[in-house]
Amino acid sequence: MAREYFGTDGIRGRVGEHPMTAEFALRLAGAAARVLAQDGGSVLIGKDTRLSGYMFESALEAGFVAAGVNVLMMGPLPTPGIAYMTQKLGCKLGVVISASHNLFEDNGIKFFDAQGGKLSDELEEQIEAQLALPPVTRPSNELGVARRVDTSRTQYQAFCRSTLPPGVTLAGLKIVVDCANGAAYKVAPRTLADLGAEIVPIGSSPNGRNINVGCGSTAPELLQLTVPGVHAQVGVALDGDGDRLLMVDHLGRIVDGDQLLFIIACARHAEGTLEGPVVGTLMSNLGLELALRQRGIAFERAAVGDRYVLARLRETGGVLGGETSGHILCLDRTTTGDGLVAALQILAIMRQSGKSLAELAAGMTRLPQVLLNLKVTQRFDPIGVPAVRQCLESLQRQLGDQGRIVLRASGTEPLIRVMVEAVEESVARACAEQLAGAVRAV
């Protein structure tokens, strides 16, 4: 069965347009309850700082309570925090209201199972099948009970601190932390400060509309200026829901997800705790693969989307994977991608090695990579178009083993993504533009 609503990271869209309406959220809660909480129990609902989060929170609450499920409302907390607290509080299901790195006009709904993991494709298909049925309202004595549990966020902060090696603190580090005016605006600065760091917070004043606007991991320019401007050793940039991480070294240079994955992998390998292969995606820079291979570390690629990285890690027994965009999975520390936990791993490596972030990242050389995002009115498979496929195959033959091409439809936005890697940036850009032209002609 093809999924109509669920993409690679839950359900997402423009607020007020189907399916991101209050009515759909109400039906979705009823459908999820029928699949995952037939015998009652509790569901945890968290969100980021979007204005529409209040509306969807109320609609989901009503749908679950009507179905006889108790609702615990956490308020703003990073997506991985909801994953952790779902398990910690013994809930049947965790729900996150967020459109991640998108702007406030969009929103989304995604689920975690009782173990804090993302739902399988099969479970999402079962939920979609139930959407055709009207929501159920049980008799008064069978309704669920709703209550707020936002003070429990300190348990997530304590968990994040616990992922550092024993005895390691951040005392003496000056860190600029950019929370994207999103879900981590409270817990990230507090966690870093509790570990002894001197904190300079930016992107920590949400107003419901400024999430991801000129800040966070998708817009790190302010962080790049601030870190050297205040003489900080490092900068941390999260996205709106706190599951992505980019960092900035003391000179204001970006260290992306591939480089962060490289740093953690090398440290784990050196201490003998790295299990299985490191898993990246089709979009991971070829430089990461080459650098890991030089150090005897196995590397594999999964489809784009941290759910597929996670699935491959489970298949291979691996513990470390991630995406260029900054989704880093440290399964030896937590169950899902967590920007704050990943940042703490990097900061711990800095403290233990005595090296700067710039020195740690220098071990990997990124090959020039050109990424073009082409807006479309409706998603389609570009490789299924003969003219596009012929152009792609011709360019791949030209590059040979000196580059890579990835052409795919985004799973979360109405975009066709064209990515080309080559030894020379001019070659990569020329190939990308040529392929983009073939897509635009469709």
CB 207 within 8 A of CB 184: no
Distance CA 271, CA 136 (A): 54
Crossing angle, helix 79-88 and helix 339-353, to 10 degrees? 100
Edge-to-edge strand list for the sheet holding 174-178 = 198-202, 174-178, 234-238, 245-248, 254-255
Distance CA 123, CA 407 (A): 28
CB 405 within 8 A of CB 369: no
Phi–psi pair at 164, nearest 5 degrees: -80, 150
Alpha-carbon dihedral 97, 102, 106, 111, rounded to 10 degrees: -30
CB 97 within 8 A of CB 45: yes
Crossing angle, helix 121-130 and helix 22-36, to 10 degrees? 120
3-state secondary structure of 96: strand
Q: Which residues contact 182 (CB under 8 A, 6 or more apart)?
A: 48, 49, 76, 203, 206, 211, 212, 216, 238, 239, 240, 241, 242
Distance CA 354, CA 346 (A): 12
User: Is there a cis peptide before residue 19, judged by omega within 30 degrees of 0?
Assistant: yes
- Maximum separation of any 2 CA atoms in the chain, in Å: 70
Nearest Cα to Cα of residue 434 among 402, 400, 391? 391
Q: Which residues belong to the active site?
A: 100
Q: Which residues contact 356 (CB under 8 A, 6 or more apart)?
A: 233, 234, 249, 250, 350
CB 45 within 8 A of CB 73: yes
Within a 10 A sphere around the Cβ of 226, how many other Cβ atoms?
A: 18
Beta pairing partners, 408: 417
Beta pairing partners, 106: 14
